[in-house]
Structure 1
Amino acid sequence: MIREFKENDMHSVMKLWLETNIAAHNFIHEDYWKSNYDNVKQMLPEATIFVYEENDSIQGFIGLSQNYIAGLFVETICQSKGIGKALLNHIKERHTELLLQVYKKNNRAVNFYLREGFAIIHEQIDKNTNEIEYIMKWCKYE
């Protein structure tokens, strides 16, 4: 079930954020994610967040700032089961255009977004990690 984020989801969402970032970005030292944990935790309430919950367990979430997807995270053992697609479709229903940034080396995520109708519109270097990232865009009417 997809629902809006509630304050008492914070611990589960942040645990999921940290674990999936470390697992998906083995090309970035895990200290980077750990050092950003508190900043993300502070910014989270300012975002629009939807969680995917099953059996009282949060298995994924998506965070938005207007039409920018700040992140889409699915618990590692729950990946490739349609949760990410369901969360993405949930926000596609509410927007006509979406943008996101994804690391070029995160092949699984890049391929997922391409399959879901996003296009790479720009390539740049993330100043915080010195890694190449893509800016991707989805439009409802293109």
Structure 2
Amino acid sequence: MNIRRNKKIEVNKLIKIWYEGSLIAHDFIDKDYWKSQQKDMEGKYLPMSETYVISNFVSLVDDYLAALFIDVKHQGQGYGKRLLNFIKERRENIQLKVYKKNRNAVNFYVMNGFVIKKELLDEQTVEEEFLMGWERV
């Protein structure tokens, strides 16, 4: 499958992937929080992002990795690494935030060349998160 820009007609599918992935990856945050964020995802975050899809998606705002979500049916099949490599080819550096408790995601990013730059607190969820960065060598 080729990686391509998302189409407006795919928004509902992207939100479904994001929502289901958020529930699993962030089970330490109440599911009502993720439910409450769906409208912002549709009306704010996806429209302002540069979003690429396979059957999964990655969204960038400038050099900030705003989202990398893999459909739960496709996790562990290399799609995340493929999407990450796709955007690394197009950027000199990338930053992202990831919840500290989301060990799978933290480990994924570390294995793909990201380093922890700073520890932060997400004010909306009151959860600790890492600011991570990657730079082309």
Q: Same fold (TM over 0.5)?
A: yes
Residue 41 (structure 2) aligns with: 40
Task: Select 2:121's aligned residue among 109, 116, 125.
Answer: 125
Residue 103 (structure 1) aligns with: 99
Segments of 4+ moved more than 3 angstroms: none
CA separation in 1, counterparts of 2:79 and 2:71?
Answer: 9
Residue 83 (structure 1) aligns with: 79
Residue 24 (structure 1) aligns with: 25
- In terms of fraction of residues, the more strand-rich structure is 1
Letter paired with 1:4 = R
Report whether the alignment pairs 1:3 with 2:4: yes
Instruction: Give me the identity figure in percent.
Output: 41
Q: Residue 42 of structure 1: SS of its match in structure 2?
A: helix
CA separation in 1, counterparts of 2:8 and 2:73?
Answer: 24
CA separation in 2, counterparts of 1:11 and 1:130?
Answer: 28
Residue 115 (structure 1) aligns with: 111
Where does structure 1 lack aligned partners over 5 or more consecutive residues? Answer: 53-57
How many residues align? The count is 135
Q: Residue 34 of structure 1: SS of its match in structure 2?
A: helix
Computed over aligned residues only, the root mean square deviation of the Cα atoms, in angstroms, reads 0.7
Letter paired with 2:76 = S
Letter paired with 2:36 = S
Post-superposition CA distance 1:89-141 (Å, at most 9, x none): 11001001000000000000000000000000000110001100000000001
TM, length-normalised to structure 2: 0.96
Post-superposition CA distance 1:46-72 (Å, at most 9, x none): 1100001xxxxx2x1000000000010
Q: Residue 23 of structure 2: SS of its match in structure 1?
A: helix
Between 100-109 and 69-78, the greater mean CA deviation after superposition: 69-78
TM, length-normalised to structure 1: 0.93
Residue 52 (structure 2) aligns with: 50
